[in-house]
A and B are shown apart, each in its own frame.
Chain A
Amino acid sequence: MRAGTAVQAAKRRSASKASTVYLFALPATLLFVVFIAYPILWVAGESLYTGTADGRAVFAGFANYTTILSDPTFWIVVRNMVLWGIITIPVQMLIGGLLAYFIERHTHALRGFFRTMFFLPVVTSVSVISLVWVQIYAPYYGIAQEYLKHVGIVMMTSPIGDPKTAIYALIVVNIWQWTGFSMLMYIAGIANLPSEVLDAARIDGARGWRLGVHVIVPMLSPATKSLLLLGVIGTLQTFPIVHLMTGGGPNRASEVFGTFIFKQSFVLGDTASGAALSVIVLVIALVLSLVQIALLGARLSPAGKDEP
């Protein structure tokens, strides 16, 4: 009888504990449902309908998807996104990593100054960055031209005005803006490197290049993995720089997913194909993230430490 009461009391306590846990999870769950899950489902639903001339929405199945996938602009966007990812992510990581290493290892009194200077573009308004870089790229009257003319170089066209070079010119701006973020992630990683491991490596004769490549770089892999994941997501989210500098032009040569979705939904008023594009981007982001987590593991904090 007593044992039964104790078991029942334990069950009640367990149930009460479980309900408390759910109660704590409720606010976050509600926010997720209202601001993330519901909009995703709404957009997915919209992508299956199409608007008629009299303003009605009729079920269209996957017609919006087939229209988008057969649009040549979509494949220009895919090409641009691939270029954006494979150029910006490694270059930002490489320059950011080198900056972090030299700042942390070879500067002392001016460490804070260098960290701030290289991080400044990250916190600068994209509008300002875009305006300045448009002026830098301008031939004839531009900022770069002012310096180049001293060495006899005359820019005949603007890199963002030529369909062949526009996407690369934007990639350069993106790298300039976001390298400071990679640097910061690596600085956090370097600051958390266990000194005893580095000392042991030095005692074993590891110096300079060898210490960097065989000890420091592998130990910074959690930061690298985080940057890779964030870089892929950031690539798919690219919008303001392109919108402000080229608007996706000339002749759609620098179009990215963000500007393509914006044009379809808000400029052309075709929200159905905009929704279909958004779902396609969501699926791509999901697949890429899952592949990365599967291949690289989920230890993504800059410090790379396991949970206690």
Chain B
Amino acid sequence: MRKMLFLATTILAAALYSAFANAEQKEVTVWSWFVQSTMEKSIAAFEKAHPDIKVKYTYYNYSPEYITALKAAAASGSLPDVIGLQPGSLTQQYRENLEAVNERAAKQWGDKWAEKIFPVNRKQMLMGNPKGDENYYIIPQESQVLCIWYNRKIFEKLNLSPPKTYADLKAAAKALTDGGYIPMFQGAADGWQNENVFLMLANQFSPGIVDKAQAGESPWTAPELVAAMKAWKGLFDDGIFQQGALGAHAYPTGAQLFAQGKVGMMALGSWWMQESKFPPPLSEFVQNMEGFDFFYMPPVKDGNSASPPVGGIDIGYGLTKNGGKNPEAWTFLAEFTNGVGLQEALNDLNDLPAFDGNAPKGDITDHVKDMSARFMADLPKAENQRFASPAVAEALDNALAGVAAGSTEPEAALAAVQAASEKALAAK
């Protein structure tokens, strides 16, 4: 009997202690599609710096899981405190469920906090806001710059150098094909990769023209965009992209082949550097990024310059209305986007910072440091990569696929994008 009483008392005491300990530790809930291994490092660093706060992270694949989970949670008022966002359409879909962060950010980082964010990111943070709404609903964590990566070991083996002209690009693609390699892998079944290449081309013909078209200041059927669309078709017809690109996906197929040294070039972005921080075994090309370097799309027409850097926010986070009631949620968001959490992500080479003054630290080779510095030097002058309206992005995806497949002419395809753009602008 005495033993039973002792056991019961011990269990009760343990339960009470556990309940007390849990009551002491506050919780922040976070949803995102952000790489889980890197997120875990960021959360561990945050929890170490804030031992009284526990972060409960839920990882989702972006599509369809994440965007459907957000929609369901928003409809039922059960969004977590902090959610991963992309600027423009995704942020705008949940604007009603998000807190404006201006005041909190000013208190945290000073009145001129926004100036610490790279210009292209700042522009994207306001994309799609109703006229006159200067509030920020997203805090960017990471930035990216789009580029053409190439396998420098294969290039060396075939006596190739980074192309400076379109003729060089065609010659490199031919040499790669003849050498048994995939010339430039394009996952043209993925709208995002097609958009990225088109943005490189369009900004080469006229920097900022896609932004003007989005804003209704220039038609989508402008000669520069038609020329860019024709150049896009040329990449398929001239053997720059691999055969059957329209049925291929950039991830995981293209990325795996590229990492294995079976592909000469691939249009990706600064995030490609993170491959070198993935768990081993890593290929000889991916190890410390030894096999890779990047260039910007060479001029596809006489008189053009090489594509300017295009990019912006890779991923950002928003404070939901639920998170607004939880003071620890902002503490996490601030540390995660411009503090200890961000530093861990940068050390993992996840991508470039969105706030100026941050840089990766730790075990990083000179080659990676050099590439990172080149990206960082280009980021302040990057052209916008994002779309304010998902309907316009969708219309452009369809136009690009139609033109690439030869089922639509560039002019007609862009006229369809213009129609979608007019509809979206009218609805605003």
Contact = CB atoms under 8 A, between A and B. Distances in A.
A247 B192 CA distance: 12
A263 interface: yes
Contacts of B245: 161
Interface in A159-217: 159-163, 166
Nearest to A127: B61
A251 B402 contact: yes
A141 B262 contact: yes
A158 B71 contact: no
A269 B89 contact: yes
Contacts of A266: 64, 67-68, 71
A157 B246 contact: yes
A265 interface: yes
B394 A161 contact: no
Contact of A156 (B63, B243, B394, B407): B243
Secondary structure at the A interface, as helix, strand, loop or mixed, is loop
Interface string A263-276: 10111111100000
Given A131-B252, A158-B248, A251 B390 contact: no
A304 interface: no
Given A53-B130, A157-B243, A251-B408, A134 B190 contact: no
B93 A161 contact: no
B305 interface: no
B182 A140 contact: yes
A216 B407 CA distance: 48
B234 to A, nearest CB: 17
Contact of A161 (B89, B96, B247): B247
A308 B187 CA distance: 58
A159 B130 contact: no
Contact of A157 (B63, B247, B249, B257): B247
Contacts of A55: 95-96
A284 B245 CA distance: 36
Contacts of A140: 182, 242-244
B407 A246 contact: no
A45 interface: no
B428 interface: yes
B427 A138 contact: no
A80 B310 CA distance: 37
B141 to A, nearest CB: 23
Interface residues of A, number: 40
Contact of A53 (B67, B249, B390, B427): B427
A161 B404 CA distance: 10
A251 B407 contact: yes
A208 B262 CA distance: 53
Given A155-B244, A161-B246, A243 B64 contact: yes
A238 interface: no
Interface in B54-78: 63-64, 67-68, 71
Contacts of A135: 253
B398 interface: yes
Interface string A252-295: 11000000001101111111000000000000000000000000
A262 B248 contact: no
A247 B190 contact: yes
Contacts of B402: 163, 250-251
A249 B407 CA distance: 12
A141 B394 CA distance: 29
A162 B130 CA distance: 39
Interface string B406-419: 01100000000000
Contact of B398 (A155, A161, A166, A249): A249
A83 B189 CA distance: 22
Contacts of B407: 163, 251, 253
A137 interface: yes
A166 B407 CA distance: 13
A141 B407 CA distance: 25
Which of B95, B243, B257, B394 has its CB near the most chain A CB atoms (within 10 A)?
Answer: B243
A250 B428 contact: no
Contacts of B95: 55
Interface in B224-262: 242-249, 252-253, 257, 262
B188 interface: yes
Interface string A135-153: 1011111100000000000
Given A157-B244, A250-B246, A269 B408 contact: no
B390 A246 contact: no
Nearest to A266: B67
Given A161-B246, A250-B189, A141 B257 contact: yes
B85 to A, nearest CB: 13
B405 interface: yes
Nearest to A165: B247
Contacts of A157: 243-244, 246-247
A306 interface: no
A307 interface: no
Interface in B99-143: 130
Contacts of A243: 63-64
Interface in A53-84: 53-55
13 contacts: A135-B253, A137-B247, A141-B257, A156-B243, A158-B244, A160-B246, A160-B247, A161-B245, A162-B405, A166-B247, A247-B190, A251-B407, A270-B391
Which 6 A-B residue pairings sit nearest by Cβ, starting from the closest?
Answer: A158-B247, A161-B247, A161-B246, A158-B244, A250-B401, A139-B244
Given A138-B248, A155-B244, A159-B247, 10 more contacts: A53-B427, A131-B252, A155-B243, A157-B244, A161-B189, A161-B245, A162-B405, A243-B63, A269-B93, A270-B391
